[in-house]
Amino acid sequence: MLRAINHAYDFQTGQNRPQSFWCMDDDDDDQLVRWVLKLMGLASGELAADWIGSFLAHRLGIRCPPIQIAEVSSDALRTAPRSVQEWARPGPAFASCEMIHAESGLRDDVMAERAEPDFLGALYALDAWLDVLDRRVAGGWNALLDTQAQRVCAIDFGKGLTPCVQKLLGPPIDMTVVNEPSYGTAVTSVASRNASLATCATIEGVDRTEIEAICASVPQAWVDQATREKIAEFLLIRQPRVRDVCSRLPTS
């Protein structure tokens, strides 16, 4: 089990205000390692979306930091700044292993130049399946460049699964409609269609039992059973519909 021990850094960004904590993994010789935690207290539905999205990224072979669920005690929260203590609550947190040597705020030109076409094509398919809304916002990407390995990694699936985990204004969203992810021309022009379609084949091969097990792994403190079941149906309904979107990518 991963346990938060001591606060390290407040990134002061994002709706879920990610925090860096020194954590101890009871299954790894009790070594302290820095993890980025999204704590309870703000938008718990986004924690569920991030967990499922990151879990599926690993399942599909898309480069993404290791993830766990971290237990955050009241004692651990007391090591955080007062501004964090005002909203954060103890309980399970979404945890991704912190990339110490990483560059954030990537723009279109960096993504098009540094991210491999196969990586972009595969991520495009996953984001379409999950309906991730904010992979790219105003030309800035929710992704990290590992400055040592010079490789781009996917992060942050919290604004996915929107019809299932977020309260929406306006009419209900049709969960069967799969939209093209908003990647912009500079990136879609280099994203590999072949890799995207290969990822579609993998997506189509994830059966109901596995999808239900992934959804069941979401902590009850984040979403209730009815929501977990809704997420599973959302993913299953959309599975065969992602291929049509990916087939329209321009680059083989």
Q: Give, rounded to a whole angstrom, the gap between the first and last alpha carbons of the chain.
A: 43
H or E element at residue 56: helix 44-59
Tens of pLDDT along 55-71?
Answer: 999 999 999 999 999 99
Contacts of 152 (CB under 8 A, 6+ apart): 63, 106, 111, 114, 115, 116, 119, 143, 144, 145, 146
Greater confidence (175 vs 169) lies with 175
Name residue, tokens 């110490």: 100
User: Could you tell me the residue ranges of all domains in the chain?
Assistant: 2-97, 102-246
pTM, full prediction: 0.94
Q: What pLDDT, on the 0 to 100 scale, is given for residue 218?
A: 97
Distances, alpha carbon 145 to alpha carbons 75, 96, 184, in Å? 33, 15, 19
Tens of pLDDT along 231-247?
Answer: 999 999 999 999 999 99
H or E element at residue 166: none
Q: In angstroms, rounded to a whole number, what is the distance separating the alpha carbons of residues 70 and 35? A: 9
